[in-house]
C-alpha cells in the first residue's frame, strides 16, 4: 500500500497471497498511486521498508524523479562503507518538540536526531537498471553512485542503545546552508517570529484548557472531535481523472461484502440504496 502521511489517505493498494513477495508488487502499486493522483498532486518522495530493497526499483524511482529513502541491510557492503565514512560526511543535528498528555498532565518532550549525509558511495552494485547479478563480477563493472544517511542518534536509538545503527540509502542529500550574512539575518528573524507565534498559540491553547476545566464550553476541541469523527471512516476512490468519497462500509457493500453497520445506520442497506444516495442512475 502507498499511503500519504500528511493527508492520511491511502493512494493505492494491491492484495496477494502470503507466499508472494512484497517486491513483486512494489513498482505496480507505486505506478497505480501516480495514476490515481493524476494532475492533482505528484509523489515527491517515498519511504520504504528494507523488504522492498531492489536495485531496479530504486533506479526506476530515480528516473521518475521520486526521492527514495530505504534502510540498508547490515549485511550489505554499502552499509559498512557508509559507517566507515561517517567522519567525512555532512553532519546535522535537529530537535523537535512535542507534547504528551493534555491539560494539567501535559508535558514537553524534546526528540533529537543526529545524522550524517554521505555522497557518491560505489559499493551498491545492485543499484542500476540490471539490479543484482553476475554482471557485478565483471572486471570493467562500475557501480552507480548512491548516497546514504547514517543515523547516529534518534528517539528509537535513545531507547534502544544496543540496536544497530541505521543507514538509509537515497539519491538526495540536502547540504547544510551556507552561513552568509543574509542567511543569518533571515534565520534570526524567522526564529524570533516562530518563537512569538508558538508562544502566543500555546498560551491561547493553555487558556482554552483552563476554561474547559472550569466547565466552560470553548467549542474548539468539540469541533476537532466532530471533524475527526466525521472523516475517520471515509475512503476516497479514484476512477481515472475522477474521484469520490464514500463511507467505508458503503465501499465494502458495493464490493459484495457483509459488514457490521456503524451506530445510527440502518441494519439493512443494499447496493441500490447506496447508488440512489449518490444519484446514480440504475438500469
Structural domain boundaries in the chain:
44-176, 190-277
CA distances in angstroms from 207 to 104, 200, 219, 233, listed in the order given: 11, 11, 13, 31
- Tell me the sheet residues that pair with 145: none
Tens place of pLDDT per residue across the chain (283 aa): 888 888 778 888 877 777 777 788 899 999 999 999 999 899 999 999 888 999 999 999 999 999 999 999 999 999 999 999 999 999 999 898 888 888 778 889 899 999 999 999 999 999 999 998 888 888 889 899 999 999 999 988 888 888 899 999 887 666 555 566 677 667 776 777 787 788 887 887 788 778 877 877 777 667 667 777 777 778 888 888 888 888 888 888 888 887 776 666 666 778 888 888 887 766 5
Looking up cell 534570526, which residue turns up?
A: 188
- For the CA atoms of the chain, what is the radius of gyration? 25
Instruction: Tell me the C-alpha distance between 203 and 197, whole Å.
Output: 10
Q: How far, in whole angstroms, is CA 257 from its chain's centroid?
A: 30
Backbone phi and psi for residue 198, each to the nearest 5 degrees, phi listed first: -65, -45
Give 200's DSSP letter: H
pTM here is 0.58
205: which 3 cell numbers?
491553547
Query: In terms of Cα–Cα distance, which of 31, 35, 13 is closest to 22?
Result: 13
Give 128: exposed, middle or buried? Use CB within 10 Å, 0-12, 13-18, 19+. buried
Backbone phi and psi for residue 16, each to the nearest 5 degrees, phi listed first: -155, 165
**Number of helices (H), then strands (E), in the chain:** 8, 10
Looking up cell 513477495, which residue turns up?
A: 21
Amino acid at each position: 500500500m502507498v499511503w500519504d502521511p500528511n493527508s492520511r489517505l491511502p493512494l493505492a493498494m494491491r492484495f496477494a497471497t502470503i507466499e508472494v513477495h512484497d517486491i513483486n508488487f512494489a513498482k505496480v502499486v507505486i505506478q497505480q498511486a501516480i495514476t490515481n493522483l493524476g494532475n492533482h498532486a505528484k509523489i515527491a518522495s517515498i519511504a520504504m521498508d528494507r523488504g522492498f530493497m531492489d536495485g531496479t526499483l530504486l533506479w526506476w524511482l530515480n528516473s521518475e524523479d521520486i526521492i527514495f529513502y530505504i534502510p540498508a541491510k547490515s549485511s550489505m557492503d554499502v552499509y559498512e562503507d557508509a559507517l566507515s565514512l561517517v567522519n567525512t560526511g555532512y553532519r546535522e543535528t535537529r530537535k523537535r518538540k512535542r507534547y504528551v498528555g493534555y491539560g494539567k498532565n501535559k508535558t514537553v518532550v524534546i526528540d533529537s536526531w543526529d545524522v550524517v549525509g554521505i555522497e557518491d558511495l560505489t559499493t551498491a552494485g545492485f543499484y542500476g537498471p540490471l539490479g543484482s547479478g553476475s554482471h557485478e563480477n565483471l572486471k570493467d563493472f562500475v557501480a552507480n553512485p548512491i548516497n546514504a544517511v547514517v543515523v547516529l542518534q534518534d528517539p528509537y536509538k535513545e531507547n534502544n542503545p544496543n540496536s544497530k545503527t541505521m543507514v538509509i540509502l537515497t539519491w538526495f542529500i540536502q547540504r547544510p546552508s551556507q552561513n552568509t550574512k543574509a542567511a543569518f539575518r533571515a534565520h534570526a528573524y524567522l526564529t524570533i517570529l516562530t518563537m512569538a507565534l508558538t508562544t502566543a498559540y500555546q498560551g491561547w491553547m493553555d487558556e482554552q484548557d483552563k476554561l474547559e476545566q472550569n466547565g466552560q464550553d470553548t467549542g474548539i476541541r468539540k469541533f476537532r472531535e466532530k471533524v475527526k469523527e466525521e472523516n475517520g471512516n471515509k475512503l476516497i476512490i479514484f476512477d481515472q481523472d475522477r474521484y469520490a468519497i464514500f463511507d467505508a462500509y458503503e465501499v465494502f457493500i458495493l464490493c459484495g461484502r457483509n459488514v457490521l453497520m456503524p451506530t445510527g445506520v440502518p441494519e439493512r442497506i443494499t447496493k441500490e440504496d447506496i447508488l440512489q444516495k449518490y444519484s446514480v442512475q440504475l438500469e
